[in-house]
Amino acid sequence: MSYGKRRRTGYDPASIQEYTFPIENIPRLSARDPEVYRLIQASRPVVISDSGLINSALKWNLGYLQENLGDGSFHVYGSKDNRFKYYDEKRAKQCKSFPKPVKRYEVSFNDFLKMLMEKKNTRERIYLQQMLNESVGQEIVKDYVDFNWDWVGRIQNEQGWGPLSSNLLLIGLEGNITPVHYDEQENFFSQISGYKRCLLFSPDQFENLYPHPVAHPCDRQSQVDFSKPDFERFPKFRNARAMEAIVGPGDVLYIPMYWWHQVESLKSLSPIDHKLRDFSTTTSSGSSGDIPPVTVSVNFWYRAAPLPATVKFPISAQQRVSVMRNIEKLLASALGSADEVGKLLSTMVDGRYN
Ligand SMILES: C[C@@H](CC(=O)O)C(=O)C(=O)O
Ligand SMILES: [Zn+2]
């Protein structure tokens, strides 16, 4: 069920999965429209269609990246299905029984290209997710310097955000899904090639989305699988309501801190010519032919603005999430183990606060 017409052409509408919750559109505005800055000020999502933020990267096809990304190593995730649920490596080491939802590889870009070829014929799907760092080649540095830093820097200053913490380069197969989660940073999510469907949920829907406990390796990730929701365990998921943006090349989606988001790579109608130089298309497993179609994005994560000197009541939904996180952390350390937190909270609440 979706309210209003979905914006954007260029992708195959059949690659849009239907879910159980209502969906309304995220506004899509020009950077010249003052409403953009009112929405950002109000920590509301908005798609900015002509910011020029990453125009210098619109030429980042796989051939260009192969040529210029340098010989560093890249984090590539492998999933037995199309979901790439993030988990914290360190926490996972402490939870012996935790089934890792994805495999993590550290490979060269050429090996990533080979994996793209090989995985085409196997069940495992892959997703490159790498922070841009100083190992990139000169051309990429030049493109990076040519991002529209004036525009994004002005917003960073006006909003009092902290420093840019990182830019994550994302190269994934069409059909890949990053399941719904929230981040504790402000994000200008920028689409370079292909199309992505972004489903966002406001922070006040915390109770509808049932995140894992803070101490869990999948902290900040929802336990609900949209494709097969377990309404027995997660009854309030019935109340979830989403906002949606389908972003294409040049679009920038502002994802406010603590806003839940699920990101799905759609099927592009016009396959991209990746101009891959002498890349042997017959790999060890003998699979040959073209590289499967991918989407390319880069995000801009900014540290949050410092807390206001005086707290205004009632506190915001974002502040409530932050308070709940701090209580979980405090209780886990006070009790010496995160396993006791649920029981203690029930003791505190049952029959007393409910
Ligand atoms: C990784 C990304 C989603 C995607 O592009 O798959 C995301 O969650 C973010 O930029 O915060
Ligand atoms: Zn995210």
Of all atoms in ligand 1, which is nearest to the CA of residue 177? 6
The dihedral built from the CA positions of residue 28, 29, 35 and 36, taken in this order, carries a sign that is: positive
Tokens, residue 345: 């909270």
- The answer on pLDDT for 66 being more than 60 is yes
- Residue 8: the pLDDT is 72
Q: Are 263 and 191 in contact (CB under 8 A)?
A: no
Strand partners, 77: 104, 127
- The answer on pLDDT for 210 being more than 70 is yes
Q: Residue range 82-92: average pLDDT?
A: 96
Question: What is the residue with the minimal CA distance to atom 10 of ligand 1?
Answer: 299
CA distance 257 to 157: 16
Question: What is the residue with the minimal CA distance to atom 6 of ligand 1?
Answer: 178
Q: Residue range 30-51: average pLDDT?
A: 98
Report CA(177)–ligand 1 centroid distance (Å). Answer: 9
- Residue 4: the pLDDT is 62
Of all atoms in ligand 1, which is nearest to the CA of residue 127? 6
Q: Residue range 14-21: average pLDDT?
A: 97
Report CA(314)–ligand 1 centroid distance (Å). Answer: 31
Question: What is the residue with the minimal CA distance to atom 1 of ligand 1?
Answer: 178
- Residue 169: the pLDDT is 98
Q: What confidence tens digit (pLDDT) does each residue in 114-160 have?
A: 999 887 777 799 999 999 998 999 999 999 999 999 999 999 999 99
Q: Residue range 265-278: average pLDDT?
A: 85
| pLDDT band for position 287 (cuts 50, 70, 90) | very low
Q: What confidence tens digit (pLDDT) does each residue in 35-45 have?
A: 999 999 999 99
Report CA(33)–ligand 1 centroid distance (Å). Answer: 26
Mutation to probe ligand 1, out of 261, 262, 265, 294 (largest number of atoms < 8 A from CB): 261
Report CA(227)–ligand 2 centroid distance (Å). Answer: 19
Alpha-carbon dihedral 179, 181, 185, 187, rounded to 10 degrees = 40
- The answer on pLDDT for 283 being more than 50 is no
Question: What is the residue with the minimal CA distance to atom 5 of ligand 1?
Answer: 263
Residues with CB under 5 A from ligand 2 (ion): 183
- Residues having CB closer than 6 A to ligand 1 are 168, 170, 178, 183, 187, 189, 261, 263, 297, 299
- The answer on pLDDT for 1 being more than 70 is no
Long-range contacts of 210-213 (CB under 8 A, 24+ apart): 210/234, 210/236, 210/237, 211/181, 211/182, 213/328, 213/338, 213/341, 213/342
Mutation to probe ligand 1, out of 76, 127, 170 (largest number of atoms < 8 A from CB): 170
Report CA(181)–ligand 2 centroid distance (Å). Answer: 6
- The answer on pLDDT for 65 being more than 60 is yes
- Residue 181: the pLDDT is 98
Report CA(343)–ligand 2 centroid distance (Å). Answer: 30
- Residue 272: the pLDDT is 80
Q: Please provide the size of the chain in residues.
A: 354
Q: Are 125 and 250 in contact (CB under 8 A)?
A: no
Percent of the chain with pLDDT over 70: 95
Strand partners, 76: 105, 128
